[in-house]
Structure 1
């Protein structure tokens, strides 16, 4: 099982985990074909990832130190990935 598979497995738990690192989630999205979009000078902490093949956009808040992703963001990303067919269902744990 790859590290991206492990990250996705962890993110799919219910309730959403609070220990997913930003770097792990960003790497997972990139492994699924999403590319980070460049923010302007005043882009702040908002980050967008775009998947050209599916014409799908994910918007997230990049956390400050510690760089752990908010549970709501994890749930939103899992919902998005489910909607676009990257994952089939959500585990109940």
Structure 2
């Protein structure tokens, strides 16, 4: 089922993903430069949090659509499917 996200949420999600992309590039550069393990892990954790927040925002924004299919043809997601989707981010 395709999920549409409102424009405001989409902007926030894309900003988070771009931030994560920049942080990940920074982590790669840190590893290539032989930086301290603690610094690398700290930045890697920041990337992970940014990705998690983007995922949670997508799920939260699309919850209404997931509960009731917009096209009338696709069955709505069950509670078990929604739970599995949330747990995939945990």
TM bucket by the smaller chain?
0.3 to 0.5
The structure that is helix-richer by fraction is 2
Bigger radius of gyration: 2
Query: TM-score, normalization: structure 2?
Result: 0.33
